[in-house]
């Protein structure tokens, strides 16, 4: 697979190719590294692409078999990996416990290859810190990617990975997703466990989830990460069927309208930096 092909797939599509034997998890990891090396120096979205990324473990199967994934540098933890929370106060911090979130990620076949930028302690909607610098928006490098999951949003929008971890208590997934042209939501309280060490984050207001590029990836991610664990303080009704199946259900008729041009203006003078289709087309611009 070429990089120009890799960046056109969503996470579900890449997982299907691995299941079919058309590409291997190792090939996808190498492509993610190549994409990172091309784009990240311009957008500063990924703090660390793991040196041992090519040997990162994941289930030999699952909805996202072999799909590259990134972890926001605050919230859900990976045992032994750096988590500095965008703050000099936490420089060098390495949690010793895997979160339930990343246990589920591995079981679903995701390969977590690195960590993304966040504002200090996830406290603002602009991803810029003394520790890690400023994260740019791949659509327009002179604008912000938002926050606090700004590094995750910029990485996915630029085509480094098709899906990435984020967290949200007051818009920290939704804001950068909207600014970077992605699909995202903050799941209902009790839908995704924060355990074992952060099951009641912000009194249940803050939750772990993902940012991605397609609705089917969002539905698949809900299937992967939803479900209770021992010690969870909140109980929520579980779905009657997988969220992916909901995509094939008929919709009620509704009235809709569309205005083709509302104050549109050319953005040809803007500097953009992405690798993938459906967004500013890095691959066409630089011939990747």
Place of tokens 């590029």: 213
Please identify every residue annotated as catalytic: 72, 148, 172
| Pairwise CA distance, residues 20 & 180, whole Å | 31
Q: Spell out where 170-286 has E strands.
A: 183-184, 207-212
Could you give the C-alpha distances from 284 to 138, 211, 245, 275, 276, in angstroms and in order?
15, 24, 35, 8, 9
Per DSSP, the chain holds a count of helices (H) and strands (E) of: 9, 10
Phi, psi of 70 (to 5 degrees): -130, 150
Q: What tokens appear for 34 in the block?
A: 């190549």
């Amino acid at each position: 697979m070429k990089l120009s092909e890799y960046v056109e797939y969503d996470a579900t599509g890449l997982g299907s190719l691995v299941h079919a034997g058309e590409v291997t998890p190792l090939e996808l990891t190498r492509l993610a590294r190549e994409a990172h090396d091309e784009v990240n120096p311009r957008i500063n979205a990924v703090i660390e692409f793991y040196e041992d990324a090519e040997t990162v473990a994941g289930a030999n199967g699952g909805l996202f078999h072999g799909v590259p994934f990134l972890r926001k540098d605050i919230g859900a933890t990976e045992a032994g990996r750096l988590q500095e929370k965008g703050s000099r106060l936490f420089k060098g911090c390495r949690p010793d416990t895997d979160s339930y979130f990343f246990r589920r990620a591995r079981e679903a076949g995701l390969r977590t290859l690195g960590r993304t930028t966040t504002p200090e302690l996830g406290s603002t909607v602009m991803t810029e810190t003394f520790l890690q610098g400023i994260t740019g928006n791949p659509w327009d490098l002179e604008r912000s990617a938002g926050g606090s999951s700004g590094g995750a949003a910029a990485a996915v929008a630029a085509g480094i990975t098709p899906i990435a971890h984020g967290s949200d208590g007051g818009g920290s997934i939704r804001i950068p997703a909207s600014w970077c042209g992605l699909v995202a939501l903050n799941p209902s309280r009790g839908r995704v466990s924060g355990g074992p060490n952060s099951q009641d984050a912000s009194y249940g207001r803050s939750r772990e989830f993902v940012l991605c590029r397609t609705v089917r990836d969002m539905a698949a991610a809900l299937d992967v990460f939803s479900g209770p664990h021992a010690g969870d303080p909140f109980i929520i009704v579980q779905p009657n069927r997988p969220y992916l199946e909901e995509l094939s259900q008929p919709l009620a008729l509704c009235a809709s309208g569309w205005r083709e041009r509302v104050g549109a203006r050319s953005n040809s003078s803007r500097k953009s930096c992405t690798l993938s289709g459906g967004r500013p087309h890095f691959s066409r611009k630089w011939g990747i």
